[in-house]
Structure 1
Amino acid sequence: MNHAEWKTRRHRKLLGEATEENPEYDRLYEESELAHELGQMVYDRRTALVLSQTELAERCGMKQPQISRIEGGGTVPTIPLLRRLASALDAELTINLTPHDHAA
């Protein structure tokens, strides 16, 4: 199963009974999308560095299953954990808030 297939299955699982007519749908969809985007960024950076999930986990004091859940969009790490991940990935952590009227 590739990352895109996982995303689709994860969305279905998260949304469960939610439908497009349900106001909860949009909120759950957005949360799921953000988790997936973060997971994809971690995956892309890790593979660019030619690191296994186990190697990345060791670099940031985690276990391999935790890295797998993050990459799969199954969890959103705390800010301190994001800092450790960024450091382990030789990357800079940047968090932005962009007003809706300035979004691209």
Structure 2
Amino acid sequence: MRHNTWRTSRVGRLAGEPVEYDQEYVDARLAGDLGQAVYDRRVELGLSQGELAERAGATQPQVSRMEGGDTVPTLPLPRRLARALEGSLNVAIDEGEARVTFTPRAA
């Protein structure tokens, strides 16, 4: 999405007008939200990226790219990450919107 298109969308959204979201924007936001959820939980548990990667059967660069929002992993990796992070990774995808939350398992 070019800057001028984003700016026009933002102005319309602030004015209460319905806004069509560019699919690339939605995908990028999902990647960023997923990475942030994994990062927050990893830090909460006091794990390094390498330690998380080892627990999840991944590599440290995979964890780094995902936390940075550079990539959206295929489904097996988030499942392994959720197990390694001792909780549930929840992704809700709706038209023009996606939400990612992490729910720790009860102790």
Q: Does 1:58 align with 2:54?
A: yes
For normalisation by structure 1, the TM-score amounts to 0.68
- Please say if residues 20 and 26 of structure 1, whose CA atoms lie closer than 8 Å, have aligned partners that are also in contact: no
Greater share of residues in strand: 2
* Unpaired stretches in structure 2, ≥5 consecutive residues: 7-20, 97-107
For normalisation by structure 2, the TM-score amounts to 0.66
Q: CA RMSD in A?
A: 2.3
* Unpaired stretches in structure 1, ≥5 consecutive residues: 1-14
Residue 27 of structure 1 corresponds to: 23
Matches within 5 A, 1:1-104: 15=1, 18-21=2-5, 26-97=22-93
Number of matched residues? 82
- Over 3 Å counting, the alpha-carbon distance change for 1:90 and 1:80 in structure 2 is same
Divergent runs of 4+, >6 A: none
- Please say if residues 70 and 76 of structure 1, whose CA atoms lie closer than 8 Å, have aligned partners that are also in contact: yes
**CA shift digits 1:18-43 (9 cap, x unpaired):** 34438xx7221111111000000000
Greater share of residues in helix: 1
